[in-house]
Homo-oligomer: A and B are copies of this chain.
Amino acid sequence: MTSPAPLDDRVGAMLRALAEPRRRAILRLVAGTERAAGEIAAEFDVSRTAVSQHLTVLKESGLIAERREGTRRLYRARREAVRELQAALDGIWSDALDRARALVEEDES
């Protein structure tokens, strides 16, 4: 499977990563185009350190992938991860249906 860690953990990690505006901007930047860390950092008014930390968070959430090439590190957005997140959002309602069914059974007992 694609889930070495529990699914809700990974979804939570992605949502926490996306909660930060700057991380969303970074994700948009590496969507479709692979970019190097310094290249990304140059786009923002914060230190490279801060951007590097954001990249770490995004990477650990699975939203971006890292590839090394010499001293450079290239990043790209993982669309599959976003799809997984979108599916999990749908799951909110299917879980709700399960609970509704359970309630009905309780009433019938």
B-binding residues in A (CB < 8 A):
12, 15-16, 18-19, 21, 24, 27-28, 31-33, 77, 79, 82, 85-86, 89, 92-93, 95-97, 99-100, 103
Contacts and interface: CB of A to CB of B under 8 A. Distances in A.
Contact of A19 (B15, B92, B97): B15
A31 B99 CA distance: 10
A16 B96 CA distance: 22
Interface of A is mostly: helix
A21 B12 contact: yes
Given A15-B15, A77-B93, 6 more contacts: A15-B18, A18-B19, A31-B92, A32-B93, A33-B99, A82-B89
Given A33-B96, A86-B89, A12 B28 contact: no
